Structure 1
Amino acid sequence: MYSTKLPYDYSLELNDLSDSFVTGKSVAVDTETMGLNYFRDRLCLVQLCTDTGNNFLVKFDDKNYQATRLKELMVNPNILKIFHYARFDMVMIKMYLGVIPHPVYCTKIASRLSRTYTDSHSLKALCYELLNVKLNKAQQSSNWSNNVLSAEQIKYAISDVMYLHKLKEKLDIILEENGRTELARSCFQFLKSRILLDITGWADEDIFSHSSRKDFT
């Protein structure tokens, strides 16, 4: 379903991608949920932007998460999935779709490794500094379970993915300049293990630490 009310075209699908979805070597991905607790708050929306700039929104009801084509995309080894804060989105995709996306790239991790001169690594901060784009985050906490999404929600959802390819290009340059490209790749590869740790009880524990405070008592 295409809209002429927005400054860009998009396709809104129910419960899975349609046959019209085509991408090249990469696709930007984000999720919208009922909240930030992945054991409690369900997945409502997965938004995608292809490397050719086409936007797709997959809206889920509360019962149907079969999403065969979307799952196939998430695990296609030939298509890079670009996230911002991949850790959360990948957990939600694992919890509700049953797959862990791979291969992946996380602009937040790339920013933390490359932009060490700042503590601002949000998508809004990255878009403003690297692309001179001001994002409107007003709909971030809106109700994404609504049967009909508002134009403002759709604009917000698309804006969360439409700049990720350009951000990756900028961050790759900074990573290379600082000699941290391979370190970033290793972090991206570790995300699969990080997601499994999160959903099996080690979300808040640093298992790499030599000891915990309890060991000193």
Structure 2
Amino acid sequence: MIDFDKEITRDIIDQLPLKSFEGEIVVVSDPSFLDEVVNEISKSKVLGFDTETRPVFKKGEKRNISLLQLYDGNRAYLFRINKMGFAEQLKEILQNKDIIKAGAAVHDDIKGLRKLSSFNPQGFVDLQKVANQFHINGISVRKLAARILEIKISKRQQLSNWDNDILEASQIRYAATDAWICYLLYFELKKMQEELGKNSNITTNKNRFNTTSNEQ
């Protein structure tokens, strides 16, 4: 594992093996499939979580979340929010306190989703805050993957157009990789806590986000 006290540089990251998700990916843009998909996901106790938004290049311009990604340990699920809306079935997962949703800077994702529709998020784990317990320097997903998993992940597609009518294969792979990495990081950080004798149960933000949707 890379020394946490040492600054993580691009040169260090570039020396690591490049990895991306190679498993099954389910892209959902038709709400008629949601019940079946959500029923399968709801069997999971832990989900990797992330969202994607079309980038903004003009000052003051804002865009809504385009994609919601979940990884359940078997498959990556990409929900095209821009096409089918923030469906009630998805809210049920994000409001279920018994299903952990692990992501980085989850407050920003939740704030973006709440702009679409009000919901009461529970069971979220912010990996950046967990990493702070170990005084890890550099806590973006890419840097966390480098430090903790000792792999490099590409961020090349981050600023691509997530509102494309049809997502490119590279976009799909990128989005799935982010949710997959968050899932792996959750279990690795949990293991680190146990090894250091800290509380073995990573605290979830079950009540942190139970304010109304007009949160600033």
TM range (shorter): 0.7 to 0.9
Q: Which amino acid aligns with 1:85?
A: A
> Contact between 2:118 and 2:212, CA under 8 Å: does it hold in 1?
no
- 1:86-124 Cα offsets, whole Å, 9 max, x none, are 11111112221321321111111111122x1x4211111
Q: Which amino acid aligns with 2:65?
A: L
Q: Which amino acid aligns with 1:102?
A: Q
Match of 2:62 among 21, 40, 53: 40
Q: Which runs of 5+ in 2 are unaligned?
A: 1-20
> Contact between 1:38 and 1:95, CA under 8 Å: does it hold in 2?
no
Distance 1:196 1:40, change over 3 A: farther
Answering whether residue 29 of structure 2 is matched by residue 7 of structure 1, we say no
- 1:49-78 Cα offsets, whole Å, 9 max, x none, are 01x32111111236x425121111111222
> Contact between 1:15 and 1:58, CA under 8 Å: does it hold in 2?
no
Choose between structure 1 and 2 for higher RCO, CA contacts under 8 A separated by at least 6 residues.
2
SS in 2 for 1:101: coil
What residue in structure 1 maps to residue 81 of structure 2? 60
What residue in structure 1 maps to residue 173 of structure 2? 155
- 1:115-162 Cα offsets, whole Å, 9 max, x none, are x1x421111111122112210001111111111111111111011011
Answering whether residue 185 of structure 2 is matched by residue 167 of structure 1, we say yes
User: Separation in 1 of the partners of 2:193 and 2:117?
Assistant: 32
RMSD: 3.0
Question: What percent of counterpart residues are identical?
Answer: 22
SS in 1 for 2:180: coil
> Contact between 1:87 and 1:191, CA under 8 Å: does it hold in 2?
no
Distance 1:125 1:184, change over 3 A: same
C-alpha displacement at 1:196, in angstroms? 5.8
> Contact between 1:34 and 1:44, CA under 8 Å: does it hold in 2?
yes
C-alpha displacement at 1:39, in angstroms? 8.8
SS in 2 for 1:146: coil
Q: Which amino acid aligns with 2:52?
A: E
TM-score by length of 2: 0.75
Q: Which amino acid aligns with 1:19?
A: E
User: Separation in 2 of the partners of 1:88 and 1:39?
Assistant: 17
TM-score by length of 1: 0.75
Answering whether residue 36 of structure 2 is matched by residue 19 of structure 1, we say yes
Q: Which runs of 5+ in 1 are unaligned?
A: 1-5, 202-217
User: Separation in 2 of the partners of 1:76 and 1:67?
Assistant: 15
> Contact between 2:93 and 2:99, CA under 8 Å: does it hold in 1?
yes
Q: Highest CA radius of gyration, 1 or 2? A: 1
Matches within 5 A, 1:159-198: 159-176=177-194, 181=199, 185=203, 188-189=205-206, 191-192=208-209
User: Separation in 2 of the partners of 1:60 and 1:189?
Assistant: 24
Q: Which amino acid aligns with 1:74?
A: L
